[in-house]
Amino acid sequence: MSAVVTVRGLNVAYGTLEVVKGVDLDVAQGEKVVIMGPSGSGKSTFLRSLIWLVKPKSGKIVIDGIEVAQQTLMDVRKRVGFVFQHYNLFPHLKVIDNIVLPLVKVHGLPRGEAVQRAREALQLVGLADKERAYPLQLSGGQQQRAAIARAIAIRPKVLMLDEPTSALDPELVEEVLRVLEDIARRGTTMLIVTHEIDFALDVADRVVFFEGGKIVEEGPPDILYNPKTDRFRQFLRRLHRRTS
């Protein structure tokens, strides 16, 4: 299987604070990779640096066969759907226009076609009846589903999600996870930062444990039952105590 995302020797820093330290990662076509790790371990920074929202200090990133560089940046970003922890919808635009705007202005689709695609995406996330609502009129779960619709409407080669459910009230987490499971089943390549163990067990092909800006352990979802390293074991135990 060909890799959609290839990362080699990635280093990212904020000034002198080194946050990502020499990470290597491959994500194959259709693969679902779940990233876990303690708060502050650099997961968000890692994900953001893949499309240069934070510019890496060194390393090589290839996405869909294109090496990320200044000249290829826009091209690469067009192939990535990004979902943020706090949804980040554009509050002044209706839900449908949040999805249509990048399709028309960035991807150059005719408006009619963009609206069509936006409606399909909204259908998929169960928000067909909310297309004319404004983001701030929706619940957190609905906003996040709208943000997911915005991401999948561009038909990304890879979907990157940074803790998509961790800003949500507990009773709203499930509706978002169900949508993500649906999308996963459709064969979309996904790179997800999440601490939802059950979701990882159901959906992930591989789980990556991040700590101190490094990948400490990785493997099939089974490692969630049987972690090899003490650090991952401790992390999971703490996570378990928090959620049960």
Partner 1 sequence: MALENYFDALLSVVGGIPTTMALALLSFAIGMGLGSILLLVRFFLPKPLSWFASAYVEAFRGTPLLVQIFIIYFGVGGFLKDYGINIDPFTAGVIALGLNSAAYQAEIFRSAVQAIPVEQYLTAEAYAFGKTQTFRYIILPQALRIALPALMNEMVLLIKDSSLVSVIGVTPPDIFRRADYYASRHFTYFEAYLAAATIYFIICYAMVKISHVIERKYAIPGYLRRGII
Ligand X SMILES: Nc1ncnc2c1ncn2[C@@H]1O[C@H](COP(=O)(O)OP(=O)(O)O)[C@@H](O)[C@H]1O
Give the binding site for partner 1 (CB under 8 A). 48, 51, 53, 74, 77-78, 80, 82, 84, 86, 88, 90-92, 101-102, 105-106, 133-138, 150, 154
Choose the contact partner of 14 out of partner 1, Mg ion, ligand X, none; CB within 5 to 8 A by kind. ligand X
Q: How many angstroms separate the CA atoms of 45 and 198, rounded?
A: 24
Provide, rounded to whole angstroms, the least separation between the CB of residue 85 and ligand X: 8
Nearer to ligand X (CB atom), residue 12 or residue 125: 12
215 in contact with ligand X (CB under 6 A): no
Instruction: Let me know: does 50 contact 63? Beta carbons within 8 Å.
Output: yes
Choose the contact partner of 80 out of Mg ion, partner 1, ligand X, none; CB within 5 to 8 A by kind. partner 1
Nearer to partner 1 (CB atom), residue 48 or residue 119: 48
Q: Which residues contact 237 (CB under 8 A, 6 or more apart)?
A: none
135 in contact with ligand X (CB under 6 A): no
The DSSP bridge pattern shows strands 32-36 and 206-211 to be parallel
Choose the contact partner of 179 out of Mg ion, partner 1, ligand X, none; CB within 5 to 8 A by kind. none
Q: Which spans of this chain sit near Mg ion (rule: CB under 5 A)?
A: 44
Give the C-alpha distances (Å, rounded to integers) separating 75 from 9, 51, 94, 106.
22, 10, 26, 10
Q: How many angstroms separate the CA atoms of 153 and 97, rounded?
A: 12
Nearer to Mg ion (CB atom), residue 37 or residue 135: 37
Nearer to ligand X (CB atom), residue 38 or residue 221: 38
- Provide the β-strand partners of residue 60: 8
142 in contact with ligand X (CB under 6 A): no
Q: Of the candidates 205, 160, 165, 152, which has an alpha carbon nearest to the alpha carbon of residue 43? A: 160
Q: How many angstroms separate the CA atoms of 48 and 23, rounded?
A: 14
Nearer to ligand X (CB atom), residue 98 or residue 165: 165
